[in-house]
Structure 1
Amino acid sequence: MASSSKSSIVAMAASLLLISLMAPLVRSDASDHRYKPGDAVPLYANKVGPFHNPSETYRYFDLPFCPPPDLKEKKEALGEVLNGDRLVSAPYKLDFLVERESEQVCKKTLSREDVEQFRKAVAKDYYFQMYYDDLPIWGFIGKVDKEGKADPSEYKYYLYKLIHFDVLYNKDRVIEINVRTDPNALVDLTEDKPVEAEFMYTVKWKETIIPFDKRMDKYSQTSSLPHHLEIHWFSIINSCVTVLLLTGFLATILMRVLKNDFVKYAHDEEAADDQEETGWKYIHGDVFRYPKNKSLFAAALGSGTQLFALTIFIFILALVGVFYPYNRGALFTALVVIYALTSGIAGYTATSFYCQLEGSNWVRNLLLTGCLFCGPLFLTFCFLNTVAIVYTATAALPFGTIVVIVLIWGLVTSPLLVLGGIAGKNSKFEFQAPCRTTKYPREIPPLPWYRGTLPQMAMAGFLPFSAIYIELYYIFASVWGHRIYTIYSILFIVFIILLIVTAFITVALTYFQLAAEDHEWWWRSFLCGGSTGLFIYGYCLYYYCARSDMSGFMQTSFFFGYMACICYGFFLMLGTVGFRASLLFVRHIYRSIKCE
């Protein structure tokens, strides 16, 4: 779409994009939303699709509805295109304070192909979405009569042909709009034969005292489900109590054991210097030995740090009210822009740490950092965009939008990544190791099976996942459903709990690993910290099978494809948190003892 690509070019300018985050998803022609009696209020038809498959949406006039004589496509911003919005002028006229009674849109003879197309849409519970003066409108296009019929071949299929618009206004502004379909005005689609359909609509206006700045509260309340707000807080309190008890229990044990270790090692040093060392002090000459595949390790830390910064910035925007209901286009814009602007953090962190580990090929490390997360995301996007193109769904990005994203990556992301890498290379920081590393590594003693990497990852991921499990349903219902998540303060508290639990459980497992004289803790701490991402992906399978009605190849591939990328991002981010916490802990305990 040429118009969408032109309007999206603004995305290349970071400052303009950040300002655009404050803009609403759909702009009306009247920028101040004030109208006089008889003024045309903008009404846009957006998309249609199966109610249970939120990713599988199509253009409104892909179904054989009556298009207006002056059909126009609305220019869209980058976030709107990424959200799958394709707004066009609607066939209904809802002029300000002008009531209409049984106004005819058109009288149309539906061919057999039209009847079959509508019948398939009705069978899949197709809904439509429109925007009236920035206010979203939904409705179903028809219904299936199953009453008293056990055999699906006996079902009756009907198309709604009369829509009632009830509009509330306050002085010169539109406050609320509701849509009702008339259950008695139907077009029978059961048989494959041409039928006559006369599409009609009515418009009723009613005055209200709700102020204009409160008109979006309706969507916040219905999407957040206030009667479930207590469940949110109960889950938060439950998570906090569980986490405090478990972490307090582990902290007490860990601190007591460490205290005994310090006393024991101090006594051993005073009693006999040649006494054989045991436990984690025994491996002090190996604990700071650099990990295998240190370039990949540094790249994973850089990518995880960037994703952590991205998450923090998204939370800041959410808490200040940028992502209000049905402004989801702003979220996609924010993700693209902030990820591009934070690429310098990834470059600096990865290259700086790589040089601290005495790495020599920092350019290759920088390329690996740039591709570690973007590479799988790009491959997933290529596959899913191809699927969307085959389905002719609105999730398929226009060529112009793809060009804009590539330009953002080439002109913003890559240069900042390189600049960050150069700054990291020139930082001249040295790795701070309290103990001198021996020339040859000690042999790791045989360990029981439950001290292996996979069992430790399962133990490390379960506790953080249990802290966020209840809240995950509401997030999934928002991302992969029609609810809108608006209580970001609760979500931020859950995120803080997740970080604390991840850091603490990783530190505890690192200590037990060192106490067993296993000095290869670098990768283990990263994998254990990030294992929560694997649990979240396991929850995806449960949600798809047990908590949702999604179906079809396109929706299934979109769900599991993009959730794989999201969970991979969580793996990198939480793995970085786990390693950083473990590194601080290991440095602390080895500074506290005398190591020769």
Structure 2
Amino acid sequence: MQRRLPLLVGLACCLQVLGISGDGGDHKYKLHEEIPLAANKAGPFNNPSVTYQFFSLPFCTPKEKQYKIEGLGEVLEGDRLVNTPYSIKFRVDKENDVLCSIELNQKDLQKFRTAVKNDYYFQMFFDDLPIWGFIGRVEKLMHAGEKPELRYYLYTHIHFDIHYNDDRVIEVNVSTDPSRTVDITEGDSVIVDFTYAVKWRETTVPFERRMDKYSRYSFLPQHLEIHWFSIINSCVTVLLLTGFLATILMRVLKNDFVRFGNDEETAEEAEETGWKYIHGDVFRSPPHLSLFCACVGTGTQMLAMAACICALALAGVFFPYNRGALLTACVVLYALTAGVAGYVSAVSFCIMGGTNWVRNVLLTTALFCGPLLATFSFLNTVAIVYRTTTALPFGTIVIILVIWALITFPLTVVGGIAGKNSKMEFNAPCRTTKYPREVPPLPWFRQALPQMAMAGFLPFSAIYIELHYIFSSIWGHKVYTIYSILSIVFVILLVVTAFITVALTYFQLAVEDHRWWWRSFLCGGSTGLFILGYCFYYYFARSEMSGFMQTAFYFGYMAMVCYAFFLMLGTVGYRASLMFVRHIYRAIKCE
């Protein structure tokens, strides 16, 4: 524990510098003290990636715009906080204050019509508390014998209902008055009076619990029951799979050990068939060794990164609307765990007989960063064309490149050097023959793709229910807060992946197919392909997302997430199979 303390302290410092704090703000106010209201963004409700700056719509603007300095994660999320002309003072009620009176020209009206038609919402922050509202509404007027007529109404009045406890803000709610609207369906210009009201109410809720509201309403109680049902279902799956391995597979192995026992005559007869027959080939280095080791190293990095994120989530770092906390943690942890990828890749490469370790380290560096950079470059260009807040500023791009150049790449190289100089040995229990045996013809269901389909289905079924809520949080407006359940599901996913890959590896060796290295990795990582298939199902069947930009962002970034899962779970499957293969070949005599 003492050795881990400096690492945890350093990680906490990095997260603090890059914008992750431990609370939602600790502001105290005096009576009549003005509290700033910051506007963030606006965009279509069904397309969470398509967000624009708040003042891209012709709302009342302040005399001088002052943008808040955002953390890295906030910028990555598309947050662009700016001051507003609202004047809200602590514990001062307002009935009907006029914010501004402006004349909307034809261009302004067209912007508002588009916003109302596409169901635009806006987001603001009041004392670090998020608030939302809609721009307007659409009404259908039915006429006999004619097509329904659409009328667009713009909301012009906002009511702020604010709760306080002593000298602190506890809760804020925003509502619009349906009776105070302006018909903007027709006309080239209209004068609009934007108004607002403020009502302060006292509450006994302590400041420390003001974020509980967002956790409480993130999912309904019956949804929590579904979460636990998912956990129970997954646990049953694990128990059944464990029982299968313990009863069937282990009994078969026991019989194999008896056949391949010490009796020389029996062993000589049994040696002609089964997995012992290929003992001279089973530990032969896999083809494309450098790529294989780079995949294992990068997958190990993803596993370490996921474990750290789960630990931070359980520690309460990702409380609701801690803006950009998760994305910041991903960037920081990916940079800090780069040494793991370099070390594991170099160690695996060297102990398997690889010589060009420099090329291996460079391949490890580019294996995930390369596709991610290509995806980001394309999507950021699309965001720039659409002028959305998801387009990263040049300064943020420079910061990310500096993090990669000064932390990620050097740590990967240092890890590779440490792995190359490591004294670890492969310690294969069987001597490898000079020439590989020919693999006998196998039926179609023994090939790689059918095996991957079987291997990926069971782990995916264990996490299927939880995936819906995760997608609803990432690509919707739900708040995911049940990290304890998520951590349990993640552990179950790893266990099921390891078990099913071990079983398929044994069946592969039993038919004298010694090419288990890549097969174990592909079977373990095949769950990532199932998750990618679920992405298509969720987009077309469960969501209302549309448009080129939203579609590009959704499938582009989800493809990268599925790729990360493929590498991580492939590494789990390979490691479990390696332990299993070493165990069974140590238990028999091999000449």
Q: Same fold (TM over 0.5)?
A: yes
Q: Does 1:379 align with 2:374?
A: yes
Q: Does 1:350 align with 2:345?
A: yes
How far residue 252 of structure 1 moved from its aligned partner, in angstroms, is 1.5
In 1: Cα distance, 2:231 partner to 2:271 partner:
48
The residue identity in structure 2 corresponding to 1:322 is V
How far residue 267 of structure 1 moved from its aligned partner, in angstroms, is 6.4
The match for 2:276 is 281
The match for 2:94 is 100
Within the candidate set 179, 195, 201, 2:174 is matched to: 179
Matching of residues 176-215 of structure 1 within 5 Å = 176-215=171-210
Q: Does 1:38 align with 2:35?
A: no
Q: Which runs of 5+ in 2 are unaligned?
A: 1-9
1:185–1:73: structure 2 CA closer, same or farther, 3 Å change rule?
Answer: same
In 1: Cα distance, 2:146 partner to 2:236 partner:
52
How far residue 276 of structure 1 moved from its aligned partner, in angstroms, is 4.7
The residue identity in structure 2 corresponding to 1:125 is D
> For the Cα contact (< 8 Å) 1:37–1:97, is it kept in 2?
yes
The residue identity in structure 1 corresponding to 2:544 is D
Please give the secondary structure, in 2, of the residue aligned with 1:331. helix
> For the Cα contact (< 8 Å) 2:459–2:527, is it kept in 1?
yes
Identity %: 68
How far residue 240 of structure 1 moved from its aligned partner, in angstroms, is 1.1
Q: Does 1:514 align with 2:514?
A: no
The match for 2:228 is 233
How far residue 105 of structure 1 moved from its aligned partner, in angstroms, is 0.8
The residue identity in structure 1 corresponding to 2:14 is L
The residue identity in structure 2 corresponding to 1:98 is V
Q: Does 1:291 align with 2:275?
A: no
Q: Does 1:409 align with 2:404?
A: yes
1:540–1:423: structure 2 CA closer, same or farther, 3 Å change rule?
Answer: same
The match for 2:389 is 394
Matching of residues 49-60 of structure 1 within 5 Å = 49-60=43-54
In 2: Cα distance, 1:58 partner to 1:272 partner:
73
> For the Cα contact (< 8 Å) 2:241–2:499, is it kept in 1?
no
The match for 1:138 is 132
In 2: Cα distance, 1:263 partner to 1:117 partner:
79
Please give the secondary structure, in 2, of the residue aligned with 1:179. strand
In 2: Cα distance, 1:169 partner to 1:152 partner:
50
The match for 1:455 is 450
The match for 1:19 is 16
In 1: Cα distance, 2:304 partner to 2:126 partner:
36
Q: Deviations over 1:384-428 (max 9, x none)?
A: 000000000000000000000000000111111111010000002
In 2: Cα distance, 1:353 partner to 1:236 partner:
35
In 2: Cα distance, 1:258 partner to 1:82 partner:
52
Please give the secondary structure, in 2, of the residue aligned with 1:531. helix
The match for 1:260 is 255
Q: Does 1:310 align with 2:312?
A: no
Please give the secondary structure, in 1, of the residue aligned with 2:275. helix
The match for 1:89 is 83
The residue identity in structure 1 corresponding to 2:567 is L
The match for 2:264 is 269
> For the Cα contact (< 8 Å) 1:25–1:328, is it kept in 2?
no
How far residue 19 of structure 1 moved from its aligned partner, in angstroms, is 2.9
User: How does the TM-score come out when normalised to structure 1?
Assistant: 0.95
Q: Does 1:111 align with 2:108?
A: no
Q: Does 1:78 align with 2:72?
A: yes
The residue identity in structure 2 corresponding to 1:433 is A
Please say which of residues 258-267 and 294-303 is displaced more in the overlay: 258-267
In 2: Cα distance, 1:320 partner to 1:275 partner:
55
Within the candidate set 413, 417, 428, 1:418 is matched to: 413
Q: Does 1:364 align with 2:364?
A: no
Alpha-carbon RMSD: 1.7
Please say which of residues 152-161 and 555-564 is displaced more in the overlay: 152-161
In 1: Cα distance, 2:120 partner to 2:495 partner:
43
Matching of residues 119-134 of structure 1 within 5 Å = 119-134=113-128
In 1: Cα distance, 2:187 partner to 2:519 partner:
63
Q: Which runs of 5+ in 1 are unaligned?
A: 1-12
Please give the secondary structure, in 2, of the residue aligned with 1:224. coil
In 1: Cα distance, 2:550 partner to 2:67 partner:
26
The residue identity in structure 2 corresponding to 1:140 is F
Q: Deviations over 1:26-65 (max 9, x none)?
A: 976xxx3110111111210000000011111000000011
Please give the secondary structure, in 2, of the residue aligned with 1:47. strand
Q: Deviations over 1:174-198 (max 9, x none)?
A: 0100100000101111114211110
1:388–1:152: structure 2 CA closer, same or farther, 3 Å change rule?
Answer: farther
Q: Deviations over 1:538-595 (max 9, x none)?
A: 0000000111000000000000000000000000000000000000000000000001
> For the Cα contact (< 8 Å) 1:26–1:131, is it kept in 2?
no
In 2: Cα distance, 1:133 partner to 1:244 partner:
48
The residue identity in structure 2 corresponding to 1:139 is G
> For the Cα contact (< 8 Å) 1:302–1:350, is it kept in 2?
yes
How far residue 14 of structure 1 moved from its aligned partner, in angstroms, is 6.5
In 1: Cα distance, 2:146 partner to 2:318 partner:
46
In 2: Cα distance, 1:273 partner to 1:16 partner:
63
In 2: Cα distance, 1:143 partner to 1:343 partner:
49
How far residue 436 of structure 1 moved from its aligned partner, in angstroms, is 0.2
